[in-house]
Amino acid sequence: MPQGNFYELLLWLILLTIFAYASREIDIFRTIKEIEAYVEGFRRATQKAIETTLKEFRNVAKETESRRVSRIEERVREMVDSVFLEPEDKDPYGLMDKLKHLMLVEDSALINEIKSLVPRAPKVAVENLKDLIEATRQLNLIYKYVEHYYRLGKKFKSIWLLLQLHSLLPFLVEEVSALESSLEAFSKGLPIGDSVGCLVAARFIQLYGKGEIREVVEDTILSKAEFKGREVLVIKAKGPSGVTGRLDDALAMVVKSRREPKVIITVDAALKLEGERSGSIAEGIGVAIGGLGVEKFNIERLATKLKIPLYAILIKMAGPEALSIMSKEIALSIDKALRRVERVIEERSEVGDTVVLVGVGNTIGVYP
Amino acid sequence: MSREALLKRKRRWILLHLLVLMLIIPVIMGLAYMLAEGIDTERVSTVYLPLAILVAAYAGLGLWKGYRMEIPNYRLVEIVKCTNCGYENVTTPKVGDYINMEKEPCPKCGRPMKVFLIYRERVRSSKKGG
């Protein structure tokens, strides 16, 4: 082999090796930079959420002439940093009861904390502040976790860890956008996309209700209505504050105190797939309730025990839409959802039957 | 992403591509001059000039994309409806308003009016980026 050719080949091999190494380094650098931009975006969203929450606290404190304004900032930051520890699930027996207990404790602890800061605030303001704290807490949690994995990936130059985080970013961005847009709704007390289930139930009460509305469980109302010879018991969270109510407890109470319902219908907002239209309606079998699954579990358990059919009406929307102020498309779908509810009641029950209609979701800005 | 963040992103995008375009245009002019004067014609015509034009086209495309980037704008709508005659009034919701809240009496029949719906509507501006 001529010497010139050998050196050229060697040079090419060295260049190729450098190129392969540089290409990997460039890839890591590009991924890091992209994640960095998102982490910065999440940090800004969290900061904005904390500022909005603090501003709202100060407004409520000013309006209600509360004296402990100086403590607000410190306590709000502590509340945002506090965590919910899920119960131990190595022995799953009784898990849902434990989860429910912890949820109720967390809820009442947060409410008491807010009340101690703004003692004269009305219930609606307290509930809306609680929603703001919860949204801020979630944003803070997402930011902290993303930053943790980003720092870890960078520290160990682990392309696989960074790529996994990178691939999750579109979903996290959706969630952060949703939470970010919820801040405006919660601070103004206006209905959000998730309120649509409650709004359908409220419309049903308006159209067919007999006037009587009772708070059967804390923050949860029951109203009697009559539709085409059927007795319809409408259950929903009590508005207009941002609560979701205790729908499972209310349903258990209804079943205990009255005769068994023939059908249980739940109406709720559901996440749409990318190709689906916002405000489109879908029917389903089962319980349409999100969250940690406690209420869904309890309603399913009750219905299974008593062999009551479960039907669901779902109003489709994107993640950010569910938490931001209700969009026009969703507002216009309420009538369509109501027609579906009426049709399900008519087709799946007989004259003289009792039907339970549950409006699921956060009832912020919707009364009753 | 919030409107402010999107606006910031749009501005940054436009600025970056404008900067690249402003840098590459004098380079193209210089290369064209070299071509006209017959300086290193072979390299200029086959490598440098096509490369510079490619960069300019990429920056121009980016600039156009940035200009067309639409920033969503929303307005809040409140529909107040008379419970008796169905008279409707469209306004902007105030903080604390809620659906089924009683409002001022109906100007037509004098019966109470209620908030029927509150929603946000996308405002489409004629100029993109609005």
> What b/e readout covers A71-82, taking b as 16+ CB neighbours within 10 angstroms?
ebeeebeebbee
Over residues A145-155, mean pLDDT = 92
Residue B29 contacts A, CB cutoff 8 Å = no
Residue A196, pLDDT score: 95
CATH 2.40.70.10 fits A193-359, yes or no: no
Q: How confident is the model at residue A1 (pLDDT cuts 50, 70, 90)?
A: low
Helix (H, G, I), strand (E, B) or coil at B82: strand
Q: How confident is the model at residue B130 (pLDDT cuts 50, 70, 90)?
A: very low
Tell me the C-alpha distance between B116 and A327, whole Å: 14
Q: What is the pLDDT of residues A223-241, one digit of tens each?
A: 999 999 999 999 999 978 8
Residue B128, pLDDT score: 45
C-alpha separations of B66 from A2, A284, B8, B54, B56 in Å: 55, 43, 11, 18, 15
Residues 6 or more apart whose Cβ sits within 8 Å of residue A99:
A86, A87, A292, A293, A294
The domain limits of chain B are: 3-68, 74-122
| pLDDT over 90 at A138, yes or no | yes
Residue A69, pLDDT score: 67
Taking an 8 Å cut-off on Cβ atoms, the answer to whether A367 and B5 are in contact is: no
The domain limits of chain A are: 13-188, 193-359
- Residue in A48, A239, A331 closest to B119 by CB: A331
The two structure tokens encoding residue B77? 């709508």
Q: What is the pLDDT of residues A172-220, one digit of tens each?
A: 998 898 898 888 888 888 999 999 999 999 999 999 988 788 999 988 9
Over residues A98-123, mean pLDDT = 90
| pLDDT over 80 at A82, yes or no | yes
Which residue type sits at A119? P
- Name the closest residue on chain A to residue B5, using Cα atoms: A41
Taking an 8 Å cut-off on Cβ atoms, the answer to whether B99 and A44 are in contact is: no
| pLDDT over 80 at B3, yes or no | no
DSSP-assigned letters across all residues of A172-214: HHHHHHHHHHHHHHHHHT--BGGGHHHHHHHHHHHHHEEEEEE
Residue B84, pLDDT score: 85
- Name the closest residue on chain B to residue A207, using Cα atoms: B83
| pLDDT over 90 at A301, yes or no | yes
Q: How confident is the model at residue B126 (pLDDT cuts 50, 70, 90)?
A: low
Q: Long-range contacts of range A74-78, CB-CB < 8 Å, 24 or more positions apart? A: A75/A113, A75/A117, A76/A50, A76/A117, A76/A133, A77/A50
Angle at B27 between CA B26 and CA B29, to 5 degrees: 60
C-alpha separations of A59 from A56, A73, A99, A297 in Å: 5, 13, 34, 39
**Helix residue ranges per DSSP H, chain A:** 3-63, 69-81, 95-117, 123-155, 159-188, 196-208, 247-257, 294-306, 319-323, 328-332, 334-348
Q: How confident is the model at residue A159 (pLDDT cuts 50, 70, 90)?
A: confident
If you average pLDDT over every residue of chain A, what do you get?
90
Confirm if A163 and A73 have CB atoms less than 8 A apart. no
Measuring CA to CA, which residue among A121, A119, A148, A137 is closest to residue A179? Answer: A137
| pLDDT over 70 at A3, yes or no | no
Residue A268, pLDDT score: 95
C-alpha separations of B104 from A130, A202, A203, A240, B92 in Å: 31, 21, 21, 19, 15
Name the phi and psi angles at A110, rounded to 5.
Answer: -65, -45
For the segment(s) B74-122, the CATH number from 3.30.1330.30, 1.10.3470.10, 3.90.700.10, 2.40.30.70 is 3.30.1330.30
The Cβ-side half-sphere exposure at A181, using a 13 Å CA radius, reads: 25
Taking an 8 Å cut-off on Cβ atoms, the answer to whether A328 and B93 are in contact is: no
Residue B88 contacts A, CB cutoff 8 Å = no
- Residue in A189, A206, A326 closest to B119 by CB: A326
Confirm if A341 and A204 have CB atoms less than 8 A apart. yes
Q: How far is B2 from chain A (nearest CA, A)?
A: 7
Name the phi and psi angles at A212, rounded to 5.
Answer: -85, 120
| pLDDT over 60 at B121, yes or no | yes
- Check residue A229 and report its DSSP letter: T
Q: How confident is the model at residue A4 (pLDDT cuts 50, 70, 90)?
A: low
If you average pLDDT over every residue of chain B, what do you get?
87
**Helix residue ranges per DSSP H, B38-68:** 41-43, 49-68
Taking an 8 Å cut-off on Cβ atoms, the answer to whether B99 and A367 are in contact is: yes
Q: What is the pLDDT of residues A33-69, one digit of tens each?
A: 889 989 998 999 999 999 999 999 988 888 877 666 6
Confirm if A315 and A270 have CB atoms less than 8 A apart. yes
| pLDDT over 80 at A141, yes or no | yes
Taking an 8 Å cut-off on Cβ atoms, the answer to whether B2 and A45 are in contact is: yes
Taking an 8 Å cut-off on Cβ atoms, the answer to whether A180 and B2 are in contact is: yes
Q: What dihedral angle (degrees, nearest 10) is formed by the CA atoms of A113, A115, A118, A123?
A: 140
Q: Considering just the CA atoms, what is the radius of gyration of chain B in Å? A: 28
Taking an 8 Å cut-off on Cβ atoms, the answer to whether A206 and B100 are in contact is: yes
Q: What is the pLDDT of residues B25-81, one digit of tens each?
A: 999 999 999 999 998 888 888 888 999 999 999 999 999 998 888 877 888 999 999
A236 or A292, which is more confident?
Answer: A236
Sheet of A230-237, strand order:
A209-217, A220-227, A230-237, A354-359, A263-271, A310-317, A281-285
Residue B125, pLDDT score: 64
